[in-house]
Structure 1
Amino acid sequence: MKTINTNIAYKEEGTGEVLLLIHGFCGSSGYWGKVIPMLSEKYRVIAIDLPGHGESKALDSVKDIEQYALVLKDFLEELGIEKVTMFGHSLGGYITLGFAEKYNQYLRGFSLIHSTGFPDSEEAKKGRIASADKIEKAGIDIFIDGLVPKLFAPENVESHKQSMEEVKKIGYEVQPQGAKNALLAMKNRKDRTEILEKTELPVLLIAGESDQLIPADKTFTASGENIKQVVIEGAGHMSMYEAPEELGNAILTYLNHG
């Protein structure tokens, strides 16, 4: 892992055009471990740890999607990177859309992976508050133990036990304040479906066939010649573990053909 002055830890492999991979809630750059080798054969792949996740410190100032997007902008500027194609998983997708709204000039294109432009429903907002309370009272480990099985397709829970344990281990390392900050950011995020509808950049939308958290109709909210929609069969919310080869091939096809 590397770190820079913005306190963001990251992994980097390969050379060429830059791909920036942004993990989901209570994840880390480790989420992309099975996909990076495929992508780094032709691209410079950078996978970051969001504030309070992985080896990145929690930042008190980062409590909304716009602030996460600013962290990414500062990160790219510090590395001297002028253009990226950005791939955001779940929470990372919300941040990707926030980045596209504010800092479009840095993007060659972007992708939402098991994510959506929609804001939280009122019920989901209550769930965020309950999750923050659970972390506060019971600790991050118990919260992660309850969360991780929901991330995988029901039919994969038994066959992907090793992957689930790896995802739990990553989750246990998340700083409680970092998790609570992310919950607040997700709860308060605005509707950004218009960003998808109006962008002229090449976009890749990826949904899991059996995603229990964000079904395909919540991901595929826009269509057009510049927007490619892909369903990963047999995957839930974690195709990077459940179907890494299919995910990697979808990303490479998008990059090769726009």
Structure 2
Amino acid sequence: MGKSIINLNGITVSYNEIGKGSPIVLLHGFCGSNGYWDNVITKLSEHYRVIALDLPGHGESANLEGPVTIEDIADHIKDVLDYLNVPQVTMFGHSLGGYITLAFAEKFSQLVNGLSLIHSTAYPDSEEAKKGREAGVEKVKKEGISVFIDGLIPKLFSPDNIEKNQNDITTAKEIGYTTSSQGVMKTLIAMKNRPDRNSVLEKAEIPVLLIAGEKDQIIPSDKTFSVSKSNIKPVLIKDSGHMSMYENPTELINKMIEFMSTVK
């Protein structure tokens, strides 16, 4: 248990595993790593087997070969879970991790007993957002990863929290710098090309938790709360931007544990 690195199908995969009980998988956001979950994983591990992965090209995990889609990453996670002997899972996806969670639930619905989008959305990119992804690729090519990360990370936090979360912003930047340039560029294109997956939420019969930040500048709450059903619980975290695991971790942990009590 703890931080591990494995070689799976010739690809290096890094993850943090802690605790016993029903399995939870935590998928971090774009330019993050399993370190994004450091504030929540210990508490969750008191009750559950928690697996926090480094996504391909992020943290200490290697890139997948060739052009990459969100579906490719979902397939890769399935391989990792097979290796770890996880037959069924509750999946929590932050931002990019939410896009992957939806793709995973669509492809492997029998393996998922609950899912959560944290500061994420089932909607595809708007045309404007797609252009932004392409501009991001060009920025990384021309200016490198550090300049890209320095521009990205502060926007993830609520403007009201910039001062009090300076240490967390520094931590998130340091995590971001570990993302490979290829990982950033491949993931930007994967996000740009992802389809609308609101149908996954509409068809879901398992418990679903949708978490939005009251002051999220990246994904507003109406984009997160896209489907209303009796099995879907919307939660708005006050005083939080796109990074509640740093901005309001206690509230996030409470909502995750509360949600787990509804998962069978």
- TM-score scaled by length of structure 1: 0.98
Runs of 4+ deviating beyond 4 Å: none
Question: After superposition, where does 1:8-27 map in structure 2 within 5 Å?
Answer: 8-27=13-32
* Residue matched to 2:7: 5
* Residue matched to 1:50: 55
> Kindly tell me: are residues 62 and 85 of structure 1, through their superposed partners in 2, closer, same or farther at Cα, counting changes over 3 Å?
farther
Amino acid at match of 1:192: R
Deviation at 1:198, TM superposition (A): 1.1
CA RMSD in angstroms comes to: 0.8
1:201 to 206, 212, 226: 206
* Residue matched to 2:156: 151
Contact 2:88/2:113 (CA < 8 Å) preserved in 1? yes
Question: 1:19-74: CA deviations, max 9, x gaps?
Answer: 00000000000000000011000000000000110010112246111100000101
1:131 to 2:136 alignment: yes
1:107 to 2:109 alignment: no
Amino acid at match of 1:49: D
Contact 2:207/2:262 (CA < 8 Å) preserved in 1? no
1:233 to 2:235 alignment: no
1:173 to 2:174 alignment: no
Contact 1:61/1:67 (CA < 8 Å) preserved in 2? no
1:60 to 2:65 alignment: yes
Contact 2:98/2:121 (CA < 8 Å) preserved in 1? yes
- SS of corresponding position for 2:255: helix
Deviation at 1:3, TM superposition (A): 1.9
- SS of corresponding position for 1:174: coil
Contact 2:57/2:183 (CA < 8 Å) preserved in 1? yes
Contact 1:62/1:68 (CA < 8 Å) preserved in 2? no
Q: Output the CA distance in 2 between the equivalents of 1:243 and 1:61.
A: 37
Deviation at 1:80, TM superposition (A): 1.2
* Residue matched to 2:224: 219
Contact 1:14/1:44 (CA < 8 Å) preserved in 2? yes
Amino acid at match of 2:104: F
5+ residue gaps, structure 2? none
5+ residue gaps, structure 1? none
> Kindly tell me: are residues 154 and 52 of structure 1, through their superposed partners in 2, closer, same or farther at Cα, counting changes over 3 Å?
same
Amino acid at match of 1:183: L
Deviation at 1:4, TM superposition (A): 2.3
- TM-score scaled by length of structure 2: 0.96
Q: Output the CA distance in 1 between the equivalents of 2:20 and 2:66.
A: 33
* Residue matched to 2:97: 92
Contact 2:57/2:179 (CA < 8 Å) preserved in 1? yes
Deviation at 1:238, TM superposition (A): 0.2
Q: Output the CA distance in 2 between the equivalents of 1:243 and 1:206.
A: 12
- SS of corresponding position for 2:92: strand
Q: Output the CA distance in 2 between the equivalents of 1:257 and 1:51.
A: 31
* Residue matched to 1:29: 34
- SS of corresponding position for 2:169: helix
Contact 2:31/2:58 (CA < 8 Å) preserved in 1? yes
- SS of corresponding position for 1:191: coil
Amino acid at match of 1:242: E
1:250 to 236, 247, 255: 255
1:74 to 2:79 alignment: yes
Aligned residues: 258
* Residue matched to 2:123: 118
